[in-house]
Structures are given as structure tokens and as C-alpha cells.
Amino acid sequence: MMEDKRKRLRRTMLFLPGNNPGILQNAALFGADCVILDLEDSVSPSEKLAARNLVRHALESVEFGDVEKVVRVNATTTPFFRQDLEMIRARPDAIMLPKVNSAQDIIDFDNLASSIEEEEGIQNGSTGLVPIIETAQGVLNVWEIARASSRIVALNFGAEDFSASVGCQRTKEGDEIFHARNATVLAAAAIGADAIDTVFIDVDDEKGLIEDTQLAKKLGMTGKAVIHPRQLDPIHLVFAPTAKEIEHAKRVVAALREAKEKGSGVASLDRRMIDAPVAARAKRVLELAVAMNLIDDNDEKDKKEIQGGGA
């Protein structure tokens, strides 16, 4: 059975500039599921070295708690890429790699990361990878990119650079990025990874943010990249499972438990067989519900049941 790499909540991945020590010091306090310590777009070339030092210090000294810590390095085609990885020796949970165009970009990263892990005495392959799909070439090659490394825990679609890449006008409606979003979702789902949607640029338009996030969720995105802390709560609310979804997930678990108790290898609900995708969906809903304190301890038992192999 395909490995499910969605071991963390990644509803929100908050970008933080790597050259701002005050923000880095408080990285875990914003309420995001994941923070991205950025060495790329938010840092000018003249500040790259200082930012690397600040990010490394933050990884070594800041208490992140349960917040996933990711470092966005510069693209493999830049002179900064190798310098970024060589400096960030204090292991982050994952590296975000921008402007990934082909599987070769992933292979180049994988080789260097493996070498660094060996030098540091870190288990090979333990550092996760989040490629950003943000060019026409990247979208066309997204499946080859997705399967190029077992490190990949999520794919992030970047609409702003993608729109520039193809020469289309970026709109709030998002018709111009519909195919690219879908391609990213399909590739991520095929390898059991998260699909992280593009940022919503207008931080003052909460209604637009909610509508854009609702569309992303409908397409199959499991989270969204974020550029401002005020965007976190609306996105979390959109990705929260509904009462109807939670109730259905509980019924799925109950049916699985009943089948297991009877020694049956087949479970059904409403005269329909519960197959692996249905069970996995129920598990995901209950995990989200527990994480967001939407269900009580009895339902936590249901979640543990489905995790324990009842599916």
C-alpha cells in the first residue's frame, strides 16, 4: 500500500523572512502549522550570508514546539543553492526548493542533502523536501518531479511566478491557474503527499482569501502557503472538517470496528463496501478534528482505531 506522507498538519505554511531576527525568534507563536524560514525571495543577494547565519541560529536556539520548521533555499540554478544547504547544518524538518523544473533538480538536491546528512551523522533521507511548482516547465513535469525522491512530503504550487512564466494575467478568480492547481494535486495525491496551494497576495481581503481557500480545498489541496499571520485563522476554519464530515467518519470507523470484531475482512456502510480510500479519508477527517479540538476523547478512540489498522 502506498505510503501516506501526511504525518503532520500542513493547513498553513507561513513564510517568514530569514533576515529578520525578531520574527524568527517568535516563529512558533504565530499559530501556523508550519513556518518557512525564507532565504530566497524575501532576502536580497547582499543579505544572503547574514540570513543564513540567522536562520541557522534560529534552528539551533529557538523552541518551535510542534510547529514544523522548513527552510526555503534558493533554486538549484543559482550560486546560492549549495551555500544555503552547506550552512543550514542545524537540521530543519524539511527544505523547500523553489522553481523546480524537472526531476533533475530534485536529484541534484537529493545528492547534496545526502552528502550533508552523512557528514552530520543524520539518517539518510530524513530531511523532508517540499518542491515548489511555479513554472510552465515545472507543471508539465510535475509527475516526474513528484516521484523523483522519497523525501518529498508536499508539493507547493506557486501561482505568481507561474503566471509570469506563461505570460498570463493573474486574477483573483484563478481561472488561469486551474490546470496547474489540478496537476499539482494529482501528483501529490499519487505519492501520498500534501498539496499546498499558492499564497493569496491581498492580506486585507479576508473574503477573497476565504473564497480562494474554499476553491483550493474543493480541488483537493490540503493546505495553503501564507504571507501574513492574519490569514491563518480564516484558512484553518476552511480546512476544518464539517460536523457532517466528522459524523460520517465516525460511522465509517464504527463499521470497520464491527467488521473486525466479527472477524470479517469486509466492512460496509449504507450497503456500500468501505474500501481503503474511504477509510483513509475518514482517518484524515478525524485527525483534523482532533487536532482542532472539534471532537471529544471518545472520538479520539475512533481515530486510534482507524490508525491501528482497522482500515
Nearest alpha carbon to residue 71 among 43, 45, 44: 43
Q: Does 1 map to a domain?
A: no
Domain limits at 275?
243-310
Q: Which of 209, 239, 269 is the last residue of a domain?
A: 239
The percentage of residues in the chain with a pLDDT greater than 90, rounded to a whole number, is 73
Q: pLDDT confidence of 74, banded at 50, 70, 90?
A: very high
What DSSP character marks residue 72? E
Q: How many CB atoms lie within 10 A of CB 167?
A: 7
Cell representation of residue 269:
456502510
* Residue whose C-alpha cell is 482569501: 209
Q: How many CB atoms lie within 10 A of CB 57?
A: 14
Same domain, 176 and 262: no
- Give the pLDDT confidence score for residue 303 in this predicted structure: 54
User: Do residues 130 and 124 make contact, with C-beta atoms less than 8 angstroms apart?
Assistant: no
Determine the Cα–Cα distance for residues 306 and 286; give it in Å rounded to an integer: 9
Q: Which of 239, 267, 282 is the last residue of a domain?
A: 239
Same domain, 187 and 235: yes
Region of 268 on the Ramachandran plot (φ > 0 left; ψ -120 to 50 alpha; else beta): beta
Residues sharing a CB contact under 8 Å with residue 195, sequence separation 6 or more, in sequence order: 154, 155, 157, 184, 185, 188, 189, 220, 221, 222, 223
Q: What is the pLDDT of residues 92-120, one digit of tens each?
A: 999 999 999 999 999 999 999 999 999 99
Question: What mean pLDDT comes out for the span 126-155?
Answer: 97
Q: Which of 221, 239, 257 is the last residue of a domain?
A: 239
Question: In sequence order, what DSSP letters do the residues of 185-252 get, joined into one string?
Answer: HHHHHHTT-EEEEPP---TT-HHHHHHHHHHHHHHT--EEEESSGGGHHHHHHHHSPPHHHHHHHHHH
Same domain, 254 and 188: no
Same domain, 184 and 301: no
